[in-house]
A and B are shown apart, each in its own frame.
Chain A
């Protein structure tokens, strides 16, 4: 089920955050966490037998059963925000690499 899948991905992301000490992998783990969360959000809005919330020549009236459009809209926003943070995270990663010449946190010699 979608909800479990979403949760599982979130947990996987958390697992990645807990175990990885590589800057790029941490960013990936963050992304997995966000994707899991997004899937979870989408799953919140699902209605069994519901149509996609777009009026068209096949789904013409509001009397039909639609799935919840709001979570989808929220996810759209969340995805874009995720892209923004990822881009910034990668930029920081590049700066880190320029400074330490490695992506491994353990090899950077900071406390």
Chain B
């Protein structure tokens, strides 16, 4: 199985799909299924595109990290698609392209190619958010995204000017051989800021509110779960493979991350609308994930992304669906779980997993990450994580108590939604109870990581 197909097939289907409107959703599901099935046949290693070896040509890379990332993104993508395809069938082509973009983004081993895929997935994301019927927010997203990718491009071109290569592995090797690393810090900062826009780190994420505040069942989980997962995984991969942290760069990065985490939690704590609570909470989680990446805990960060993505998928789908008619004020939604025990169950598990409570996947991840951080004595990070957990707990408890309190509200949920979300929730429990799959996966992932960058202590 050539992994270039994971890009080529959805792209080709996208080209075909504009011919026949009825066919498009089928093509979308077919492409998505093809990728998920195909993932079990891939082999690790490089796949050269166009016959030119690195660093001259572009190549796609596959290892356990990327494979896991692809599984996460594609399975969640398929779930979102299955839940929404009937209502948003006109988005099929866009979704096919975004599938192309996300898969390419994860697999590519070339920085400029990454920029191209960043733009592809970015543009499809802008279009996905256009279903919110809030063009102003989508426009703001577009502006922020374009500024971000321009910054990224600027950074990468400076790297090219210095090292004469665009290949990730090649650059990583050359950077690690430098004795004085200060020259590369500016491009790294530019790339950090550029990707930080997409990963929604704090001062750069003004687009998030407009997008997720009005999110529907397609755009909410898509942006908050699938895109967030893909972007942070790609970002994290660059962080561990390439980046070095020194001097002022550390100060700036750690400030951004700590502010993201603490301010994100504080804003979620203060918010009254359920969607706002969730969106600010996902800002904090993004900061947390990046924090783990820069601390060198790549595999645990990967699992945290996975746990968060599943949780956010559940949370956003439920809230977006429930708030379609009456809005998402916390008091309006009171008691929606009274007659929807299964939905309430999924929601509860997802939020408990985000807080990091035992029995759920978030717990396993948080505990192991904390264990490592304590071993490394990175106390600032630890304090941030623990404080964040406390605040998360408080606003989720408030949310849960409100949503569970019996009331006259009657909201009905689609039966398919119930099934899919329940399955995802069960997944959180399964990974929370049986640790072996995660542990063994972690080992293979760490074999595959060639850590060129350096981690540091916050």
Complex: A16 Cα to B119 Cα, angstroms: 22
Q: B39 in the interface, Cβ–Cβ < 8 Å? A: no
Residue contact B147 to A33, C-beta cutoff 8 Å:
yes
Residues A57-111 near B (CB distance < 8 A): 70-71, 74, 77-78, 81, 84-85, 88-89, 92-93, 95-96, 99-100, 105, 108, 110
Check if B378 is an interface residue, CB within 8 A of chain A. Answer: no
Could you say which residues of chain A place their CB within 8 Å of the CB of B166? 70
Determine the chain B residues whose CB is within 8 A of the CB of A95 once the complex forms: 130, 135
Does residue B136 face the partner (Cβ distance < 8 Å to A)?
Answer: yes
* Chain A residue at minimum C-beta to C-beta distance from B138: A92
Compute how far the CA of A84 lies from the CA of B123 in the bound complex, rounded to whole angstroms: 8
The reply to whether A71 and B160 form a contact with Cβ atoms under 8 Å apart is yes
26 residue pairs of the A-B complex, CB under 8 angstroms, read: A17-B143, A17-B147, A23-B139, A26-B143, A30-B146, A41-B157, A44-B157, A44-B160, A70-B160, A71-B157, A74-B112, A74-B157, A77-B116, A81-B119, A84-B119, A85-B123, A85-B146, A89-B139, A89-B142, A89-B146, A92-B130, A95-B130, A96-B135, A100-B136, A105-B136, A108-B136
- The CA-CA distance from A54 to B311 in the complex, in Å, is 54
Q: Indicate whether A92 sits within 8 Å of B139 (C-beta atoms), given known contacts A81-B116, A85-B119.
A: yes
A30 with B136: in contact, given A40-B157, A74-B157, A78-B153 (CB under 8 Å)?
no
Partner of A92, one of B116, B135, B161: B135
B413 to chain A minimum Cβ distance, whole angstroms, is 30
Contact residues of B: prevailing secondary structure: helix
A93 surroundings in chain B (CB, below 8 A): 139
- Is there a chain A Cβ closer than 8 Å to B71's Cβ? no
Closest chain A CB from B199 CB (angstroms): 19
Interface of A is mostly: helix
Chain B interfacial residues counted at CB < 8 A: 22
For residue B249, CB closer than 8 A to chain A, the reply is no
A110 to B157, CA, bound (A): 38
B150 at interface (Cβ–Cβ under 8 A)? yes
B146 / chain A contacts, CB cutoff of 8 Å: 30, 34, 85, 89
- Min CB distance B80 to A, Å, is 22
The 0/1 profile, CB within 8 Å of B marked 1, for residues 14-31 of chain A is 000100000100100010
B-side contacts of A89, CB under 8 Å: 139, 142-143, 146
B135, A99: Cβ atoms closer than 8 Å: yes
Does any Cβ of A come within 8 Å of B126's Cβ?
A: yes
Contact A110–B160 (Cβ < 8 Å): no
Size range of the interface on A?
A: 20 to 34
Q: Which of A44, A70, A110 contacts B136 (CB 8 A)?
A: A110
A74 to B116, CA, bound (A): 10
Determine if B139 and A40 form an interchain contact, defined as CB atoms under 8 angstroms apart: no
Q: Contact residues of B with A, CB < 8 Å?
A: 112, 116, 119, 123, 126-127, 130, 135-136, 138-139, 142-143, 146-147, 150, 153-154, 157, 160-161, 166
Show the binding face of A for B, using Cβ within 8 Å: 10, 17, 23, 26, 30, 33-34, 37, 40-41, 44, 70-71, 74, 77-78, 81, 84-85, 88-89, 92-93, 95-96, 99-100, 105, 108, 110
Please state if A44 and B139 are interface contacts (CB–CB under 8 Å). no
Q: Given A92-B139, A92-B142, 8 more contacts at CB 8 Å?
A: A30-B146, A37-B153, A37-B154, A44-B160, A88-B126, A88-B142, A89-B142, A99-B136
Query: What's the least CB distance linking A91 to chain B, in Å?
Result: 9
Partner of B147, one of A30, A40, A105: A30
Residues in A with CB closer than 8 Å to B116 are: 77, 81
Q: How far is the CA of A108 from the CA of B161 in the complex (A)?
A: 44
Contact A44-B119, Cβ < 8 Å, known A88-B142, A96-B139: no
B139: A residues at CB distance < 8 A: 23, 89, 92-93, 96
Which residues does chain A contribute within 8 Å of B126, judged by CB atoms? 88, 92
Q: Could you say which residues of chain A place their CB within 8 Å of the CB of B153? A: 37, 41, 78
A41 to B142, CA, bound (A): 22
The CA-CA distance from A71 to B157 in the complex, in Å, is 8
Minimum C-beta distance from B226 to chain A (A): 20
| Chain A residues positioned under 8 Å from B136 (CB to CB) | 96, 99-100, 105, 108, 110
Chain B nearest CB from A23 CB (Å) reads 7
- Compute how far the CA of A100 lies from the CA of B136 in the bound complex, rounded to whole angstroms: 10
* B residues near A85, Cβ cutoff 8 Å: 119, 123, 142, 146
B152 to chain A, nearest CB (A): 11
Nearest opposing residue in chain B for A105, CB measure? B136
Cα distance, A33 to B148, chains bound together (Å):
12
CB pair A44–B142 under 8 Å, yes or no, is: no
**Whole-angstrom CA separation of A70 from B143 in the bound complex:** 27
**A70 vs B55: C-alpha distance when bound (angstroms):** 13
Chain B nearest Cβ from A83, distance in angstroms? 11
Q: Find chain A residues with CB under 8 A from B123 CB.
A: 84-85, 88
Could you tell me the distance between the alpha carbons of A77 and B150 in the complex, rounded to whole angstroms?
Answer: 13
Q: Which residue of chain B lies nearest to A92 when distances are taken between CB atoms in the complex?
A: B139
- Nearest Cβ on chain A to B130's Cβ, whole angstroms: 8
CB neighbours (8 Å) of B127 from chain A are 88
